[in-house]
Amino acid sequence: MADATTELPAGAGRLPFVGRLAEAARDTALGYRQWLEAELDSARAGRRAVAVTARHALLVASSLPPRFDGGVFRPLSWLKYAGENGWRLSAVTRAPDGEITEAGRQLAAAIPAGVRILAAEPPALRPSHKLFQQIDGDFLQALALYRAAARGFAEDPPSVVVATGPTFASFAAGLLLARRFAARLVLDYRDEWSRNPFGFVRRGRDDRRWERRCLARADLVQFTTRGQLRHNSDAFPGLIGAKGAVLLNGWEPDPAAEAAEPRGDGRLVLAFSGVLGTMASPQPFLDDLAAVLARRADLGQRLRLRFIGRRLPWAERLLERFPHPQLIERIEQRPRAEADRLIRESDVLLLMTDDDMARYLPGKVFEYLATGRPILAHGADGEAPALVRQLGAGRHVAAGAPVALERALDAMIERPAEAWNGAVRRDWAATHTRRQMARVFFGRLSGLVEAAAAREAGR
């Protein structure tokens, strides 16, 4: 019988691979050319630039509305409240990709009219990962942000460049832009960069070198907790020092959502809001709760678990394996006002932590504290559980302690909700709104500009 196998010319199977190599080599060379051009442009323009003292800041952010993710709320608050603090804030960000959600549209509607926001298109080049710069957020994206802002604000230069990350491509872009405009540079760490313990910051081989370069140039370095400031000051000796500061996240009041109350149907609704699985795993809490319910069938009749927001696939699989699926209520991502209402219609708010979160204070903690509802912090101790205890806002239960979890649930059933919302908690929430935090932030920017003006006057 004849052999039906078709014989290919020698080397034919390698042609697509060779073509990809050639494209990667070309794109790598073009990428280095773009980097060199950006460095030279920022240096030359910076030598000619005259530092301005007008209260105009340029925000460099990888995500702004209509994108909808956890990183947009802090910079959005600055865009909202700049004017009332005597500042004009412009921005450069990535162009939206994918479908714009209703939640994203609602956030975008909160940006004041007249705020100028430039969008940098995604890079078209695909350079070699081995041969080109590798930083969180894509170094080519940093160069695209730089080019868009360098052109767009050439005739309207800022006195301050504020780079907020992650992603930390914004820091690299901010560094070059601050040099180009002879502006003060503010680095705002919503999360840590090379010291980040979580997977959502994708660290490459060049991140630490770029982080050191950015810190050396910065005039102000902000973190969201005292623990992060201490940790990174130790990790980068001599580069942060007196420039370091803490700016907490805060929460955004919503009168309509604040009127919501628990349904009072006789069941204790434990609610988690946010992306499930981004930081701490829900596994320890689910395991401890399953152990409690194995001993206390009566609690199984009185509890409901409400998960509000997106769930990572592996976290969803954990929910599917929970032995009491009838207790779980899943609610997909909602616009912020609706999510706030759902939180306030719950009886207890769930915060899950692990060792990696010890120096973190997630934004949801501020939203939780503003509701007045009791908070159940489950897992490792750290900044968030300590704040819950300090304000008398709930209970902290270590992972692997089902008896302690049982007692905490009983206490939250038996004690009236008002018992967890004392004057200390209410006063703290009132002074930690996004608006209040923006006032602190713009006060710091004013201090930078005034100090620079005083130095110029003294020359």
Per-residue pLDDT tens digits for 38-86? 999 999 999 888 777 899 999 999 999 999 888 999 999 999 999 999 9
Per-residue model confidence as pLDDT tens digits over 61-74: 999 999 988 899 99
For residue 80, is it within any domain?
yes
Indicate the average pLDDT of the chain.
92
Q: Can you give the residue range of the structural domain that contains 145?
A: 33-246
For residue 441, is it within any domain?
no
420 shares a domain with 318: yes
CATH number for the domain that contains residue 373: 3.40.50.2000
Name the domain count of the chain.
Answer: 2
Per-residue model confidence as pLDDT tens digits over 396-438: 999 999 999 999 999 999 999 899 999 999 999 999 999 999 9
304 shares a domain with 199: no
Compute the distance between CA of residue 410 and CA of residue 404 in angstroms, rounded to an integer. Answer: 10
For residue 15, is it within any domain?
no
Give the pLDDT score at 270. Answer: 97
Give the pLDDT score at 459. Answer: 64
In one-letter notation, the amino acid at residue 195 is R
345 shares a domain with 313: yes
- Whether 354 and 348 have beta carbons less than 8 Å apart is answered as no
| Average pLDDT over every residue of 263-271 | 83
232 shares a domain with 264: no
282 shares a domain with 240: no
Q: How many CA atoms lie within 13 A of 91 on its CB side?
A: 23
For residue 298, is it within any domain?
yes
For residue 448, is it within any domain?
no
369 shares a domain with 224: no
Continuous H helices in 272-362: 283-295, 297-300, 313-321, 336-344
More confident residue, 136 or 202: 136
Beta strands in 133-230 (DSSP E): 160-165, 184-189, 220-223
Beta strands in 322-452 (DSSP E): 328-331, 348-353, 375-379, 394-397
Pairing of strands 117-120, 88-94: parallel
Compute the distance between CA of residue 336 and CA of residue 363 in angstroms, rounded to an integer. Answer: 13
296 shares a domain with 184: no
Res 215 pLDDT > 70 = yes
Residues in the chain: 459
332 shares a domain with 416: yes
271 shares a domain with 160: no
263 shares a domain with 234: no
Compute the distance between CA of residue 14 and CA of residue 20 in angstroms, rounded to an integer. Answer: 10
287 shares a domain with 232: no
Q: Which of 182, 213, 246 is the last residue of a domain?
A: 246
